[in-house]
Structure 1
């Protein structure tokens, strides 16, 4: 395969957020919900590699989903059952990211009243990055946890057909290091978005990303695109993904396993949110200090040959946020061109100011 770099252009962060919010209002969301969704997509665009596909390119996908009836932009949500520290919520096939933000807010409220709050959502749709929702808890001196099930893209250990989703997890905890410690992982080694990115760049992919439909290992993203994804850590990642469905779709009475995304009119995704009030255990400042000590312990360990620095979860993403906020948000030129087409189609007035081509070495 040849090696080619995907051209990217830096755009103004505030313009990008306003553009996406205006687009979602044009697609039928309330102004409040459009703001929630725009904030989540820009959060993801700042933190993650664009090939992961959780950023502003989702505006086009939601135009399609709303247009063909897959998602109801004004569905609202309802509490099915509620206790002091627990709740089940029905999202009515609405915008998953919005339902997730409101469910985590409910979990936080319960945590502040009772020490811990857990909310499970059923009958939802794609909710974006798990870190978006886990990090909500940080603003309230809580530890946040968020995970979801998804369409059956991951093969069970030893199998060659999908049965669980990428089922991403995030756990967010504050520290006194200037950035929170945030685990944000899919339970597959990679997703189809990164495979497509490698395909466009003419690069081979690692052998542990996916297999062909016949069950063979391959480093060719094109050959693997129609096959299932592989779990992190072999049987261990598969076990985590399986139990994620057990704690979301199975427990909530929603979809699980082969069900999510099987009906285009009812995507049937389920999510899990938990907030833990740090002040129940200790002063939040003491917790942040102790986490800072833990970070220092990890970063001070002897390094393997060729390793310049030891990082902790969320540190690399915090650096991306700082760089993109300072220099502009790099967008794939194909995505930027499509967003300008969307502006014409939806009547979006907000401009996207270009700050020059992206020239960095890493994303």
Structure 2
């Protein structure tokens, strides 16, 4: 169904469109399925900046030649509680899926385990990875640098990426408690969506190329984004650079954008994932102590506050029932990829 504002699609139809577009542009089948799952999940959960729009980002990256279309991830075990996947220059989704079983196995054997994904191209949110771990009853943390688009607190020149961090806590009878946010004031995709829509962005999201505050999305995209919370967000951004950069032998955001060399690809580098099995600390009492967290969540919601990701879960229920609506301009751009 179409109108002047949008095109309504089922989730299956969106997945088919994603597969067709990615196939048309030469991505290998295993990567197509992994990327499609992530894109459909973003749109399904109402995350417009990480949903169908990211197909445009993927295809642009494929056109730059900065991603290996048929990369075969290689899984390794550098230590008893560590797993590593060399993505071989491919998109991160398939590398994570290949490393997930070993990460879960090691977390259960050791109580805690970490996964390093190296040499990957990352364009998506982190919550799909976190949710996959909470589904296994694990507590999880993940982070990744990006391109140097963000200035440090007190600065005006980009050195950090948007550098998201994500955390997940499993719940027995409810969707997991998950947060996933950029350490920049907003995800870069949000600024891109404002630019596409011809809308001004809020003050505090970024500065222009001369370091002056700006509400013009194009000026900020050409200047620098800002961290959230001033020096606090800036410190967290630096933490991400270190954990998912030098610690795992991969690129910082400044190194990633230098390697891009103006091609305009998605960020190139690594991802750091930590998984904790509550039974490692608590043994047979794990379920009882995990359940104690429900009092915390109730204390939040009983006063009218919203848990992180609740908006996503509400959107998920609606879209699984009713499908999704893509903005007409985005749908036309996606169809043009098939021309």
- Provide the TM-score with structure 1 as the length reference: 0.83
Of 305, 310, 324, which residue of structure 1 is paired with 2:305?
310
For 1:289 and 1:30, the matched residues in 2 are separated by 43
The structure in which a higher percent of residues are helix is 2
Residues in 2 aligned to 1:195 and 1:23: alpha-carbon distance in whole angstroms? 24
Name the CA distance, whole Å, in 1 between partners of 2:187 and 2:194.
Answer: 11
Q: 1:229 aligns to what?
A: 225
Residue equivalent to 1:92: 88
Post-superposition Cα deviations, 1:31-69, rounded to whole Å, max 9, x if no partner, equal: 33322211111111122431x2x2123223323322332
Q: Which runs of 5+ in 2 are unaligned?
A: none
* Alignment correspondent of 1:360: none
The residue matched to 1:296 in structure 2 has which SS?
helix
- When residues 7 and 287 of structure 1 are mapped into structure 2, their CA distance, relative to the original with a 3 A threshold, is farther
2:12 aligned partner: 14
SS of 1:324 mapped into structure 2: helix
User: Which of 136, 142, 147 matches 2:143?
Assistant: 147
**Are residues 1:273 and 2:273 paired?**
yes
* Contact 2:75 2:99 (C-alpha < 8 Å) held by counterparts: no
Contact 2:116 2:270 in 1 (8 A): yes
SS in 1 for 2:259: coil
Question: Does 1:68 pair with 2:70?
Answer: no
Distance 1:204 1:177, change over 3 A: farther
Q: Aligned residue pairs: how many?
A: 330
Segments of 5+ residues of structure 1 without an aligned counterpart are 1-5, 302-308, 346-363
Query: Is 1:171 aligned to 2:167, yes or no?
Result: yes
Match of 1:43 in 2: 41
CA distance in 2, matches of 1:217, 1:254: 32
> TM-score normalized by structure 2?
0.89
Of 218, 225, 238, 1:242 maps to 238
For residue 98 of structure 1, report the CA deviation from its aligned partner. Answer: 1.8
Runs of 4 or more, structure 1, over 6 Å off, are none
| 2:31–2:70 contact (8 Å) kept in structure 1 | no
Structure 2 residue aligned with 1:262: 258
1:265-312 Cα distance to aligned partner (Å, 9 max, x none): 8964111011112333356643553232221011223xxxxxxx3101
